[in-house]
């Protein structure tokens, strides 16, 4: 049965503070917990040693922290590493660490599978199983930072793993806001690139956001005829529209 307790990995700072207030915690506790979780990558309440024992016990009873689990890790000769994550429902996703770009880069997934059906992409041939939650998207970064010891190193993020980020708009943008919080990783928009095949309504919506990452629009062709063959879901829009 699904755990109904609030998952702190899914929460932005104001949401976290609201949950904690019900446990009698104060606002500075929310900042401490956010830092433990998103800066240090620590997902066990009993190890959050600057919190009182009483608060840690309350948190353990009333809340959960869901973290993707690394189930395999492959190392290439050039230093690139591919991580296979298992999610809480048993589904699997991949993330990649790219060491020389020239800045360290983490390539993150936003969906289990993908609905875009790009003919050249193995994930596209899988079809879409489900969207990732904001906590699962940000959780990949949290785990990779811990596994690769990147807490004090500069790195970039590309949303170029499994899935189309703009097809999972709300969770993707919430994850990016979580990653931007100074008490966590404090990533600025210029250090994050969102790769998309170009979903026009979502692009228009993105243009209205206060916090906008870099965009990489994957055209894959210079003519509509070829592009529609490569990306069947692009038939409803033209290159000139993009």
pLDDT digits 0-9 by tens, 208-234 = 998 899 999 887 777 768 777 777 777
118: pLDDT confidence band, cut at 50, 70 and 90? confident
On average, the pLDDT of the chain sits at: 92
**Mean pLDDT (whole number) for 178-196:** 95
**Mean pLDDT (whole number) for 74-92:** 96
The yes-or-no verdict on residue 2 having pLDDT over 80 is no
Residue 46: the pLDDT is 93
Domains (range + CATH), the chain: 8-62 (1.10.150.530), 69-236 (3.20.20.70)
Residue 1: the pLDDT is 59
101: pLDDT confidence band, cut at 50, 70 and 90? low
Q: What is the pLDDT of residues 25-73, one digit of tens each?
A: 999 999 999 999 999 999 999 999 999 999 999 999 999 999 999 999 9
Whole-angstrom Cα distance, residue 82 to residue 99? 12
Residue 231: the pLDDT is 75
100: pLDDT confidence band, cut at 50, 70 and 90? confident
Residue 181: the pLDDT is 96
* pTM for this entry: 0.94
| Ranges 176-185, 198-207, 230-239, most confident | 176-185
Q: What is the largest CA-CA distance in the chain?
A: 64
Which of the two residues, 142 and 232, has the higher pLDDT score? 142
141: pLDDT confidence band, cut at 50, 70 and 90? very high
The yes-or-no verdict on residue 93 having pLDDT over 80 is yes
The yes-or-no verdict on residue 98 having pLDDT over 90 is yes
121: pLDDT confidence band, cut at 50, 70 and 90? confident
């Amino acid at each position: 049965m699904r755990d109904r307790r609030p998952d702190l990995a899914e929460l932005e700072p104001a949401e976290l503070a609201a949950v904690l207030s019900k446990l009698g915690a104060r606002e500075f506790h929310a900042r401490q917990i956010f830092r433990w979780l998103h800066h240090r990558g620590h997902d066990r309440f009993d190890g959050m040693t600057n919190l009182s024992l009483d608060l840690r016990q309350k948190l353990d009873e009333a809340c959960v922290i869901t973290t993707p689990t690394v189930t395999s890790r492959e190392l290439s000769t050039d230093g690139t590493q591919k991580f296979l994550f298992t999610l809480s429902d048993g589904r699997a996703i991949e993330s990649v660490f790219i060491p020389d770009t020239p800045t360290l880069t983490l390539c993150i997934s936003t969906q289990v599978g993908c609905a875009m059906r790009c003919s050249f992409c193995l994930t596209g041939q899988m079809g879409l199983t489900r969207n990732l939650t904001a906590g699962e998207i940000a959780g990949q970064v949290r785990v990779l930072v811990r596994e690769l010891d990147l807490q004090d190193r500069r790195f970039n993020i590309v949303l170029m793993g499994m899935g189309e980020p703009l097809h999972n708009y709300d969770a993707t943008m919430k994850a990016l806001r979580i990653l931007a919080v100074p008490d966590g990783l404090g990533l600025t928009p210029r250090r994050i690139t969102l790769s998309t095949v170009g979903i026009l309504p979502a692009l228009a919506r993105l243009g209205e956001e206060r916090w906008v990452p870099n965009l990489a629009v994957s055209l894959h062709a210079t003519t509509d005829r070829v592009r529609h063959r490569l990306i069947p879901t692009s038939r409803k829009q033209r290159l000139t529209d993009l």
